[in-house]
Amino acid sequence: MEKRRIGSLEVSAVGLGCNNFGRRLDEPGTQSVVESALDMGIDFFDTADTYGGTDSEVFLGRALGTRRRDVIVATKFGWEIDEARRGAHPEYVKRAIEDSLVRLGTDTIDLYQLHKPDDSVPIADTLGVLDDLVTEGKVREIGCSNFSAEQLVAAREASGDRARFVSVQNEYSLLRREAESEVLPECERQNLSFLPYFPLASGLLTGKFRLGQAPPAGTRLTTLESMKDRLNDEALAVVEGLIEFARDRGHTVLELAFAWLLAKDNVSSVIAGAMKPEQVRQNATAASWSLTSDDCDAIDALLSPPSA
């Protein structure tokens, strides 16, 4: 597995998203997925304190066990767990890090990420306490998620000579390209690592959704109201073109989704969840396809213009 950098950290080009742990996957299921990831050379595990009602961190920590020292663990704080546990206020951050360390069964978090902006707290205050955590050795690097380019600029200006965000984790895929308009250029200016989540567009790029066919039942796109608008004929028509492009080159559209992201500047690791070991293996294998510049040009011609 190819390695790339996030600040001082070296991570596998494909990471394992742990949002299913404790929610759709029980502890034995988590164990099998984590073991498959390790077998495939995946050493970057991305979770959050809210995932699985806080069980994701617990299950991940137990699954890693003595192998914790061999991997890079990223987690997040700031999304609401309950009324008392949310946001980016310094006093809460101090509590959140201790809770995550206990749940993960570790004494250091490699990449600690603010899960979403908190407009009620000056970013300088949050960065101040995060800098303290780095100084104390509880955190190695800090990052953010769901930030706009404007918010990335503000964070950089507020950091001064303290610890700075080294990464931003936002949604990005062949079908969701909003990051291209401002966030990715800002990553280039600041030399920030970009960590795309939902690389398979919530399932649209798995090959299971086809134009003119009934969608598979029980999927995120068919069960979540917030996702249903993404499943439309326009998107499926683009998917058909991508399926044909990949098939003509001996690959699947899933492999294309990963390869296209890994061909982008500043993308350090593609974070994808998995429910089964075979899905982990598919994701890891996809990283071996290197697209040429001609390939990328041909793909761009198949895609809709990115949203502003």
Q: Which tokens hold the place of 24?
A: 């759709």
Q: Looking at the annotation, which residues are catalytic?
A: 51
> Is the CB of residue 78 less than 8 Å from the CB of residue 87?
yes
- What distances in angstroms separate CA 38 from CA 4, 58, 150, 282, one per listed residue? 17, 18, 37, 14
Phi and psi for 177 in degrees, rounded to 5? -115, 20
> Is the CB of residue 61 less than 8 Å from the CB of residue 105?
yes
Spatial neighbors of 54 by CB under 8 A, at least 6 apart, are: 22, 81, 99, 103
**AA letter at 87:** G
Tell me the three state secondary structure of residue 31. Answer: helix
Q: Is the dihedral of CA 118, 124, 126, 130 positive or negative?
A: positive
Spatial neighbors of 253 by CB under 8 A, at least 6 apart, are: 205, 206, 207, 239, 242, 243, 246
> Could you give the CA distance from residue 124 to residue 102 in angstroms, rounded to a whole number?
27
